[in-house]
Amino acid sequence: MFAGCTQTSKESEENNKIENTLQSVSLLYDSIGIEPSDLLSMVKRLNKAIDLIGYPDSGYKLWLIQGDSIMDFRFMIEGSWPNQAIYDTIHNNKLYLNAWNSEDAKIWNKLNTISYHRFLLVK
């Protein structure tokens, strides 16, 4: 008689999950009052493309900056990536490039990137 243990798909997903060790952070200045929902639509489209490319745990989060102490910034976009090579693969993939539409470009061009930084996870 043979007895075995089969991994559930959730357990299998956890074992195959790629850790994000590269973070990108953009602080954006908005001088014209862009609706957060418009920017969020763009982020969701890009994240869907990133998922289709095969990296569902990577992608962007949009943050609306709160508080009076940071008057020059309105949005922060945080990106999470497994490493630089996968970041490059995603950003050069046709699915990712095609996820940008002309409306996204209009919105993006109205924002000023005040700072862009990358961070590597220390292990």
- Does domain 18-120 sit in CATH 3.30.70.100? yes
Give the pLDDT of residue 103: 81
Give the pLDDT of residue 8: 45
Please indicate, yes or no, whether the overall pTM of this predicted structure exceeds 0.85.
no
Q: How far is CA 75 from CA 78, 84, 107, 118, 122, in A?
A: 10, 24, 13, 17, 26
Q: What is the pLDDT of residues 35-59, one digit of tens each?
A: 899 899 999 999 999 999 999 999 9
